[in-house]
Chains A and B, each alone.
Chain A
């Protein structure tokens, strides 16, 4: 069964350092999402791509976060510099088309900022 792949699974970094997360969506899925899930809360959308174009990045802290999806396949989310408040689970999801289609989530990257 096809799955969304993410790496690394865990990342520990010090504040002010740069971190990057990678996501490989299910083959053929046009839409890719990055969510942030703080412990004890539900996922919150950071950025949504349709193919290689950003559809929604209204909740992405653009002074420190960036995301790209070159060639409309895999994607990278970067944080520079990391802050203590960035400690969370970063989840990638993909769907065939729009948000109305089922979103399939990857296992996530747990980030700890010291």
Chain B
């Protein structure tokens, strides 16, 4: 079993939809949770960074962490075609090594 599980998609939604992206994990030592966005043929870029449980909002993006369920989510409101990319969750525990999910490919069509 992988430490971090993420549905690879693809997820296809119309412009303006609310998108929900999720990851589950098995390692209870994870304390830092990140979401990266990766456009085709580019490196990942950090979108959201949260510590422990709770919500964090930044513009159209909201990150949620539920440590009791070992479940994290990224919500995108009013999705745009420019949001079409692969979204990677990543987690960090006590080993100082960032562990990534497989990524979910999102396509937002006009």
Enumerate chain A interface residues (CB-CB to B < 8 A). 4, 40-45, 48, 55-56, 91, 93, 98-100, 102-108, 110
Neighbour of A103 across the interface among B6, B46, B101, B102, CB < 8 A? B46
22 A-B pairs whose Cβ atoms sit less than 8 Å apart in the complex: A40-B103, A42-B4, A42-B90, A42-B101, A42-B103, A43-B88, A44-B100, A55-B96, A56-B96, A91-B44, A99-B92, A99-B97, A99-B98, A100-B32, A100-B92, A100-B96, A102-B46, A102-B49, A103-B98, A104-B45, A107-B42, A110-B41
A45 touches B8 (CB 8 A): no
What B residues does A99 contact at CB under 8 A? 92, 96-98
Q: How many residues of B contact A (CB 8 A)?
A: 22
Interface string of B79-110 (1 = CB under 8 A from A): 00000000010101000111011110000000
Mask: chain B, 35-78; 1 = CB below 8 Å from A; 0 = not: 01000011111100100000000000000000000000000000
Contact of A40 among B8, B36, B96, B100 (CB under 8 A): B8
Find B43's partner among A40, A41, A102, A107 (CB 8 Å cutoff): A107
Distance between A46 CB and nearest chain B CB, rounded to angstroms: 11
Return A94 CB to nearest CB of chain B, in Å: 11
A108 touches B42 (CB 8 A): yes
Across the two chains, which residue of chain A brings its CB closest to B96?
A: A99
